[in-house]
Amino acid sequence: MKIRTFVATASLVASGSLVAFAGSAQAALYTTCVGDGGAVTVGGDLVVPAGQSCTLTGTKVKGTVTVQAGADLVASGATLNGGLSVGENAYADLTDTSVKGALTAQGAFGTHLQGTTVKGAITANQGFLYAVDSTLDGNVRAQAGELYVSGSTVDGSLTGEANQYSDVYDSTVDGKLTVNGNALGGVLCASEVYGDTVYKANSDTLQLGGEGLLGSCSGATYLDGNLAVTDNTATAVLDNAIVRGKLTATNNSPVLQVGELARIRGGITGETTAAGAASAAARSFKAAPQDRGDGLAEKAAERAAEARAEAKAAGATRL
């Protein structure tokens, strides 16, 4: 069961009502959503009030969407013409949906994108960012949470900062990939990165292509720019990857292991060693890479199911 965070407000609003707050210039209008919303057009901004649940199916929102503290938004086949803001302990679950503005999650429970397009930048501070088969047109930055990207395209840069882990599978990053200060390291599997790639100050395990302590990775990884693996205390393995630029491997303890299937076109600076086969005993203490994705999928599905049930109980919202 999710933990709700409730925020006191000066006014109480009814489900689906249009609310106006007078300002010095003019009143600001928005529509609230509590319950199930269908294939209609919302002319302005949309708010899911604190602690409430809203589902949108085929809905078009011309303004911005705000999911307040402890609230849930589950959208399918929706179009959000503005940005999306997800508040503290709130949750956004978007399937086959288009977000034409930026997506910001601050202290959220998490954000799940499935087959979804986000045109603007994505910023997630705490909580998880779980993107599958999605197109992310702006820069993506996730910090102090969990980052998992699979089968997706990132047209800008992708940054995982001080997360539990930052895992990238079968994805394309057109800009720079940076994984810095992750407690459980990260995985880069069967992916392409066209900017520089940086893994710095990570702990536990780094699996950069190929076989590693986290398990097997089917498919080669291609890094078009330089690769820097520096200042890590993680056990780091680079294999089944082509690095078109230079590899810099300095101040790593243990030293970066480079496997037989790694090809470094631009030379190596620093210290590396040949990768050995991971022992069965070592593997038995590590989750397979898909386990982290499975764990996020389970968390997302549980929260989404609870949100749908609450929205159904609330009835049809008047959008």
Hey, is 138 helix, strand or coil? coil
Is residue 289 over pLDDT 70? no
| Alpha helices per DSSP H over the chain | 280-284, 289-314
pLDDT in tens, 221-275: 999 999 999 999 999 999 999 999 999 999 999 999 999 999 999 999 999 999 8
Q: Which carries the bigger pLDDT value, residue 308 or residue 209?
A: 308
Count of residues making up the chain: 319
Determine the Cα–Cα distance for residues 127 and 124; give it in Å rounded to an integer. 7
pLDDT in tens, 138-193: 999 999 999 999 999 999 999 999 999 999 999 999 999 999 999 999 999 999 99
Determine the Cα–Cα distance for residues 286 and 55; give it in Å rounded to an integer. 37
Q: What DSSP element (H or E) covers 314?
A: helix 289-314
Signed CA dihedral, 211, 212, 216, 218: sign only: negative
User: Which is nearest to 110 in space by CA: 129, 123, 96, 97?
Assistant: 129
Across the chain, what does the average pLDDT equal?
Answer: 89
Q: What is the pTM of this model?
A: 0.90
